[in-house]
Structure 1
Amino acid sequence: MSACRANRRQRSRRRTTVPVIGAALAALVLSACGSGGTSGGGGETQFVQGKGGVDVVKARSARQEAPELSGKTLQGEQLNATEKFKGKVIVFNVWGSWCPPCRAEAKGFGKVAREYKAKGVEFVGLNTRDPNPAPAKAFERENDVPYPSLFDSAGNLILRFPKGSLNPQAIPSTVFIDREGKIAARAIKPMSEDELRETLDPLVAEK
């Protein structure tokens, strides 16, 4: 009987451990709809923590390669963003239609995206935690979003960012990729138009 009880206890531990680990991982990787957070990454990132929560890797040689981000957009079209926009500065914005800070920054993102397109800058959204595209598409219409968003409900694309890099860790988060396809900056908070411009201008100026 003692062996049976031990086996039952062992099975019980296995059943409870998996969801606990999954929940902890989800909470660590993506803080739900926060307006800020703690900068992540290790010493190898060599980033400078900027004022206002925008972290920047100034030395181009110290920047890490960005992952391939591809999949279906909210409109159902296939998009390999890192390949299509290769050689351009890319701004990846993590957002959800259910997230108030995402709504607060959306119109400013659209304005800056239009303003910087002629300067070789492309914006791409990473829509996450929306169970289906319908509310996210309504969000885009309401906020006149001019750029595509990859539908990433489960957050799989976000997890492609390498461990220890300036990876997105909150919703909203914004990651800036330089023309060489490397991670140059990150914000884990809502960004204003001025903050977007201040982060983009040095990257646009790089030759």
Structure 2
Amino acid sequence: MVLSGALAGVATTLTACGNAQDTGGSGTGAPGAAKGSSSRYLKPSERTVTPTVKGTTLDGKHADIAAMRGHAVVINIWGSWCAPCRKEAPELKKLSEQTAPLGVKFLGIDIRDTKTAAKAFERNFGITYPSLYDPDSRSLIGFKSLAARAVPTTYVLDKKGRVAAVSIGPLTARDFYPIIKDIAAEQA
């Protein structure tokens, strides 16, 4: 495992868009995070949150992360109105392509947005993985104590469906790939 131990916890307040405020420890600049971001890796023994997230995607299909168990799953909370989300979108596209051979699944959750703007965002950035349409941000409740408090937020679920890593703020493919790769390599 590239990562050692849990990185600093992150306590933030939900912002309309932007970076979270790190409240201590070494979270800022942690592996997988771009400058101004915070990441947290959870050792298998620390993984206690198994989110429940399901709904209708932007293209009208049903998606449920419970159906993705057995795979590492990357979930990205985003909005077309969010400048850091626009910065991060090409990185997520690259990550989804790089990790597909590892069996990793991706799911976006578009919050506080219109379908028209969200679909244009996906089209402009070439995003091919599905995104739930959640204008009221209700799906975030499924993450319980790890619910997103800033946008963008990215989660990596292990093969058992538990939150194994969280990145708040825009991430980079170069830095976040090793985290996803390690979680995807874990035994179920």
Same fold (TM over 0.5): yes
Mapped to 2, the partners of 1:162 and 1:83 lie a distance apart of 16
Correspondence list, 1:34-183, <5 A: 34-38=18-22, 49=27, 51=30, 52=33, 53-58=38-43, 60-80=44-64, 82-130=65-113, 132-163=114-145, 166-183=146-163
For structure 1, list consecutive stretches of 5 or more residues without a partner in the other structure.
1-27, 41-47
Cα RMSD for the two superposed structures: 2.0
Return 5+ residue gaps in structure 2 as ranges. 1-11
Higher-Rg structure is: 1
Structure 1 residue ranges, 4+ long, deviating more than 3 angstroms after superposition: none
Residues paired across the two proteins, number: 169
Deviation at 1:202, TM superposition (A): 1.6
Q: Does the 8 A contact of 1:33 with 1:100 survive in 2? A: yes
1:202 aligns with 2:169: no
Return the letter of the residue paired with 1:97.
S
Q: Does the 8 Å contact 2:20/2:149 carry over to 1?
A: no
* 8 Å CA contact retained: 1:92, 1:126: yes
Residue 3 of structure 1 is matched in structure 2 by none
CA deviation after TM superposition for structure 1 residue 83, in Å: 2.2
* Structure 1 position 61, deviation (Å): 2.2
How far the C-alpha of 1:62 sits from its partner, in A, is 1.8
Q: CA deviation at 1:118?
A: 1.6
Contact 1:168 1:186 in 2 (8 A): no
Q: Which has the higher helix share?
A: 1
Aligned residue in 2 for 1:193: 173
Identity %: 35
Whole-Å separation in 2 of the counterparts to 1:115 and 1:29: 32
Shift of 1:178: 0.4
Q: Kindly provide the amino acid, as one letter, of the partner of residue 174 in structure 1.
A: T
Query: Which piece of structure 1 moves more, 189-198 or 134-143?
Result: 189-198
User: Normalising by structure 1, what TM-score?
Assistant: 0.76
| Greater length-normalized contact order (CA 8 Å, ≥ 6 residues apart) | 2
TM-score by length of 2: 0.83
Residues 53-83 of structure 1 show CA distances to partners (whole Å, capped at 9, x for unaligned) of 210112x122013221100001111111x12
Distance 1:172 1:83 in 2: 22
1:140 to partner: Cα distance: 0.2
* 1:32 lines up with 2:12 in the alignment: no
